[in-house]
Amino acid sequence: MTAFSRLRPEIRGMLARQGIAEPTAPQERAIPLILAGEHLLLIAPTGTGKTEAAALPLFNRILRDRARPRAGTAGMEAGGGRPRGEERSSPGDGDGMRWETRSRGRMQGRERPGTDEDEGPGRISAIYVTPLRALNRDMLSRLRSWGEELGVSVAVRHGDTTQAERRAQSLRPPDLLITTPETLQVMLTGKRLRESLRGVRTVVIDEVHELAASKRGSQLALVLERMAEVAGEFQRVGLSATVGSPEVVAEFLVGPRRRCRIVQTDVEREARFRVISPQPEAGDYALAKELECDPSLAAQIRVIREAVRRERCLVFVNTRQAAEVLGSSFRILGERIGVHHGSLSKEARIEAEEAFKAGRLRGLICTSSMELGIDIGDVEHVIQYSSPREVSRLVQRVGRSGHRVGRTSAGTIIATSPDDVAEAAAIARRANSRVLEGTRLHERPKDVLANQLVGLALDFGEVALKRCFEIVTRSRPFRDLSFPELEEVAAEIAGHRLVFFEGGILRRRRKSWQYYYQNLSMIPDEKRYRVYDVVGRKPVGTLDEAFVVNFAEPGATFVSRGEMWEIVEVVDEEAEIRVAPIQRGGEIPSWSGEEIPVPWEVAQEAGEVRGRVARHLEGEAGGDGGGGGGEAAALAFLMESYPVEEEAASAFVKLIKRQLATHLPVPDERTIVVEGDGTYITINACLGHQANEALGRVLTALLSARLGTSVALDVDPYRIGLETPRPILPEEVAALLAGTDPDHLAPILEMTLKNTSLFTWRMVHVARRFGALRRDLDREVVSLKRVLGLFVDGVIGEEAMREVLFDRIDADRAREVLEGLRAGKIAITTSSASPIGAEGRRGGRDVTTPERADGAVIDLLKDRIMNDRVILFCVQCKGWKSLRMVKNVPEVPECPVCGSRMVAALKPWEEEEIRIVKKPEAAKTPEDRRRTKRVYRNANLVLTYGKAAAVALASRGLGPETAARLMRNLRRDEADFYRDILKAEREYARTKRFWS
């Protein structure tokens, strides 16, 4: 007797006709529990039938209930009946596309609510919630075919659903509705659909792990409690392939007062991981020249191309920028490999999915947009380009291959640096052992609470705050909410005229509707620009506001969907960028918020790998003490303990070997090494992104106070980089870190973060969610400092700080490190600049490519600069100057009067600087001395770099400081030098309006 035998005969017949005879392990365990009405969290690998395990009992219940009469009041009694005030008018079911106001007792809009009382609509029996709209398409096609065969109506509803479809669903609700979290809360306020929700008996939440750790999930948790006020208690079923903390996610699903069963099945599906690190071969140098990229990247592209030719592959990358770089390269090579990420248009994503499914594409380069269960047919192999940063992410992604029971999931991680090798090795080992990261939930997010209090006011018309308290504390995120905290949030939203709040009663007001529909999502509302192909007359994708502000102007080129585009026009009022396809190279769009933080545990294990390899090389753990024997032992350790191929293991061992050859310490999980080369200090610490961010912020605050000026910060999982205005010794920084009181960490962090743009932008987003700022805020007009001044000390500021600490900072681990330093459990030492430290200064470990300005553009730039004029002025004798074209400047400028090579190259309009330099020192003002110093710095650059410095100094907007930065990065390739100048000129053009 199997789980299928518990299903109704018509369902068993349907399964038999489809050739499905036996349930999978997840189905065998879950179906009986769901049929029994229990709350359930089902955790099972991708491709093992989780959807069917949840859906088949839904169809069974719908058919069962249809076969027998149902008491109409049961659900209402359980849920407390019709909420008070519901007889008042409320908006139609526009899914946030429009909102309506009431005037003289009537609704202004296309449809009048209340007519459902006369028409008697049916009721929805089950709701299937998915985090992505793309999932809805797959779910609909799969479940609708079952519904048609069984006589059960199935529909999908989200923001893209047409008005006609929405109206039809309002009038004739389906038995089973597939929807998103945002649309579900719209349904609570639409009167027809609210009535249809009274029949809901089961809610399934797919990919529940994706929601649990986000504010979007916190919002859904409250929406489910609001639904319980309408439908009464209903069954909750959560589905996921990967959950690091099952008990936490189960409590998120049902709340702290309900019992949830957890079914976790380890289906016999072998997962095969390997870590490789391709090194350039002979043919890769020609490929690099063809693609205008580094030979290492060419080697990686070669390996991906070979894999895709052998098997149908998904190539996962960590950022959309990486997807575009690789997609562009494969397009140049004519390979059948597509690109899929969230900034592409819906049409472009669907086209890529269908082309891959049909076999027209052999490979698909994708981001997290393809992590979840979108149906794209068989995937034979998954390639992860660069470390996936998290164990759960690797398991989820590699689970897309071998997408059937009994098939092996095959995954290859292409490590792009030695750091990447150790990190990927640690992640692959942990994935094999199913050691996933724990799930962290937002605790009492106040902007979510504000949003849902307005929702409750709309639900009830008017409602006592005490009843709101009873409802919201049933949810896991707000289980510890205090009543004074709730009162504070209620007062805040009342102050922004979103509700009336008096005498402990919340009442909705006209502005409530507008606010609610404009804040359906907790995802930060960045302005997005649609990219439209004026030649092909079709949408291309979208670009973030940051990219548009920093880069987009007519004539600029960029890459999207693996193709080159030139901007024809930017239409701000329509948020549209009109483009035309071109064949030249372009810049890769940069999207914010994509950095995936490496967890503490992974970074610590990567540090442990460093330490153990070092000990093998030193002969302490099985090596013979000689170079060859120690190296062989180190390679053997890596390849036996981790799924690392020899080429990757060798690349990592060589780095550690170089470190030891210079007699420098190896930073590992228990050793912090501070090194420096003057104004740049590197703190090598294997603590993960968020702990390093916390310590880095504290150090910048302390150093800034000591030096009286700002200190630049750069963080990766294994380093903290500090750039200071004057040289500082590594010993000073080490002493400062070791001497920091752990008790001072939290207040220093809070004080420091309040002065960052990171906190400011979080404040803007939180203030918008509170209704305190309009969505159309003009950032160039409104002073963000003024925003901070208004909100920083209230509930909005507190929530912004809590969010920053949750998302970006691990203060607890940072405190643990400071305590470990004090107790001697963590060692700290100093060294000169080292090979390991230098790894972090080579840029990100993700794919990179030069900003490939077109050759013609470079030629034009060079021609313009060479024909510009400069004043050569000797700062030694101060008696010689000469105005000449840049092309006529000698390779080594020299004063013909005194023979000095201290010759400044000034722009023609800088004659005044010469007069100031010639002034007697006693007559100079502080401003004169500052300007004199700039001229001498100019001359020093020319002394050091000759004519190349004069070229840089003649460029538009480049002073000695910017030119010095360019000269430090002076490349052998002349075109790259001019590309750097072009980039600096663009930056000047973009920011000059802010200069005083």
The CATH number of the domain holding residue 224 is: 3.40.50.300
Q: Mean pLDDT, the chain, as a whole number?
A: 82
In a shared domain, residues 419 and 555: no
> Where are the extended beta strands (E) located within 658-758?
671-676, 680-684, 712-716, 719-723
Phi, psi of 458 (to 5 degrees): -70, -40
In a shared domain, residues 293 and 427: yes
Provide the pLDDT for residue 682. 93
Q: Does residue 543 sit in helix, strand or coil? A: strand
Q: Is residue 593 domain-resident? A: no
Give whole-number Cα distances, 777 to 183, 489, 783, 786, 801, in Å.
25, 23, 10, 13, 21
Give whole-number Cα distances, 750 to 334, 671, 766, 829, 968, in Å.
52, 27, 17, 28, 35
Distance CA 358, CA 368 (A): 22
Q: Is residue 498 domain-resident? A: yes
pTM of the model: 0.72
Provide the pLDDT for residue 368. 77
Task: Find the mean pLDDT for residues 760-768.
Answer: 83
pLDDT tens by residue, 153-211: 998 887 777 788 888 888 889 999 999 899 898 889 888 888 889 999 999 999 898 89
* pLDDT at position 104 over 70: no
In a shared domain, residues 328 and 227: no
The better pLDDT of the pair 904, 97 is held by 904
Provide the pLDDT for residue 540. 76
Give residue 946's identity as a one-letter amino acid code: G
Distance CA 460, CA 34 (A): 32
**Which of 935, 947, 803, 944 has its CA nearest to residue 873?**
935
Task: Find the mean pLDDT for residues 553-561.
Answer: 70
* pLDDT at position 77 over 80: no
* pLDDT at position 536 over 60: yes
Q: What is the 3-state secondary structure (H, E, C) of 403-436?
A: CCCCCCEEEEEECCCHHHHHHHHHHHHHHHCCCC
Distance CA 386, CA 431 (A): 16
Task: Find the mean pLDDT for residues 337-342.
Answer: 83
> What's the chain's Rg over C-alpha atoms?
31
Judging by DSSP bridges, how do beta strands 528-533 and 576-582 pair with one another?
parallel
Range scoring the smallest mean pLDDT among 76-85, 370-379, 464-473: 76-85
Residue 629: which pLDDT band, with cuts at 50, 70 and 90? Answer: low
Range scoring the smallest mean pLDDT among 708-712, 889-893, 969-973, 975-979: 969-973
Provide the pLDDT for residue 785. 63
pLDDT tens by residue, 679-735: 889 999 999 999 999 999 999 999 988 887 778 788 899 999 888 878 889 999 999
Provide the pLDDT for residue 559. 66
Task: Find the mean pLDDT for residues 244-250.
Answer: 93
Which of 218, 245, 264 corresponds to the end of one domain? Answer: 264
Residue with tokens 């203060």: 811
Provide the pLDDT for residue 711. 82
Provide the pLDDT for residue 858. 67
In a shared domain, residues 477 and 566: no
Measure CA 762 to chain center. 15
Sign of CA dihedral 226, 227, 233, 237: negative
Provide the pLDDT for residue 504. 93
Distance CA 736, CA 303 (A): 46
Q: Which two tokens stand for residue 11?
A: 């369902």
In a shared domain, residues 255 and 290: no
**Which of 384, 376, 372 has its CA nearest to residue 359?**
376
* pLDDT at position 255 over 60: yes
Phi, psi of 561 (to 5 degrees): 60, 25
For the chain, report the end-to-end CA distance as a whole number of angstroms. Answer: 81
In a shared domain, residues 501 and 397: no
In a shared domain, residues 157 and 132: yes
690 and 597 in contact (C-beta within 8 Å)? yes
Give the strand order in the sheet containing 154-157.
154-157, 176-179, 126-129, 202-205, 235-240, 40-43, 261-264
Provide the pLDDT for residue 238. 96
Provide the pLDDT for residue 79. 34
Half-sphere exposure of 181 (CA within 13 A, CB side): 26
575 exposure class (CB count in 10 Å sphere: 0-12, 13-18, 19+): middle
Name the helix (H) or strand (E) containing 105: none
* pLDDT at position 573 over 70: no
> Where are the extended beta strands (E) located within 445-560?
462-464, 499-502, 505-508, 528-533, 538-544, 557-560
Distance CA 751, CA 748 (A): 5
> Where are the extended beta strands (E) located within 697-763?
712-716, 719-723
* pLDDT at position 792 over 90: no
Q: Is residue 560 domain-resident? A: yes
Measured CA angle at 259 (ends 257, 262), to 5 deg: 140
Residue 593: which pLDDT band, with cuts at 50, 70 and 90? Answer: very low
397 and 317 in contact (C-beta within 8 Å)? no
* pLDDT at position 624 over 50: no
Which of 402, 432, 462 corresponds to the end of one domain? Answer: 432
Measure CA 94 to chain center. 29
Task: Find the mean pLDDT for residues 597-619.
Answer: 94
Distance CA 225, CA 209 (A): 19
Q: Which two tokens stand for residue 597?
A: 């933080």
Residue 97: which pLDDT band, with cuts at 50, 70 and 90? Answer: very low
Q: Which residues pair with 259 in a beta bridge?
A: none
Distance CA 525, CA 279 (A): 42
Name the helix (H) or strand (E) containing 314: strand 313-316
Judging by DSSP bridges, how do beta strands 261-264 and 671-676 pair with one another?
unpaired
Provide the pLDDT for residue 551. 61
Longest dimension (CA), the chain: 109
The DSSP code sequence of 111-155 is S-TTTHHHH------EEEE-S-HHHHHHHHHHHHHHHHHHT--EE
Q: Is residue 340 domain-resident? A: yes
Name the helix (H) or strand (E) containing 43: strand 40-43
Domain count, the chain: 7
Residue 798: which pLDDT band, with cuts at 50, 70 and 90? Answer: very high
Q: What is the DSSP letter of 921?
A: G
Distance CA 600, CA 608 (A): 12
The DSSP code sequence of 172-200 is S--SEEEE-HHHHHHHHHSHHHHHHGGG-
In a shared domain, residues 822 and 770: yes
907's CB contacts (< 8 A; 6+ apart) are: 870, 871, 953, 954
The domain in which residue 538 lies consists of: 528-582
The better pLDDT of the pair 806, 101 is held by 806
Give whole-number Cα distances, 637 to 232, 609, 617, 836, in Å.
59, 9, 11, 20
Q: Is residue 440 domain-resident? A: no
Q: Is residue 848 domain-resident? A: no
Q: Is residue 276 domain-resident? A: yes
Sign of CA dihedral 606, 607, 608, 612: positive
Provide the pLDDT for residue 414. 95
The better pLDDT of the pair 851, 364 is held by 364
Phi, psi of 540 (to 5 degrees): -105, -45
Task: Find the mean pLDDT for residues 7-15.
Answer: 92
In a shared domain, residues 569 and 684: no
In a shared domain, residues 382 and 293: yes
* pLDDT at position 277 over 90: yes
Q: How many other CB atoms sit within 10 Å of the CB of residue 908?
A: 11
682's CB contacts (< 8 A; 6+ apart) are: 674, 675, 676, 719, 720, 721, 722, 833, 837, 840, 841
Residue 778: which pLDDT band, with cuts at 50, 70 and 90? Answer: low
Provide the pLDDT for residue 134. 55
In a shared domain, residues 276 and 408: yes
Judging by DSSP bridges, how do beta strands 671-676 and 712-716 pair with one another?
unpaired
Distance CA 402, CA 273 (A): 13
> Where are the extended beta strands (E) located within 510-615?
528-533, 538-544, 557-560, 563-571, 576-582
Residue 215: which pLDDT band, with cuts at 50, 70 and 90? Answer: very high
The angle that helices 795-808 and 757-769 make with each other, rounded to 10 degrees, is: 120
Residue with tokens 């292409």: 414
**Which of 849, 955, 865, 330 has its CA nearest to residue 558?**
849
601's CB contacts (< 8 A; 6+ apart) are: 430, 437, 688
In a shared domain, residues 225 and 317: no
Residue 369: which pLDDT band, with cuts at 50, 70 and 90? Answer: low
Which of 772, 803, 833 corresponds to the end of one domain? Answer: 833
Distance CA 362, CA 355 (A): 9
Q: Is residue 523 domain-resident? A: no
Distance CA 920, CA 342 (A): 63
Provide the pLDDT for residue 986. 64
**Which of 449, 326, 337 has its CA nearest to residue 386?**
326
Provide the pLDDT for residue 169. 80
Range scoring the smallest mean pLDDT among 343-347, 674-678, 699-703: 343-347
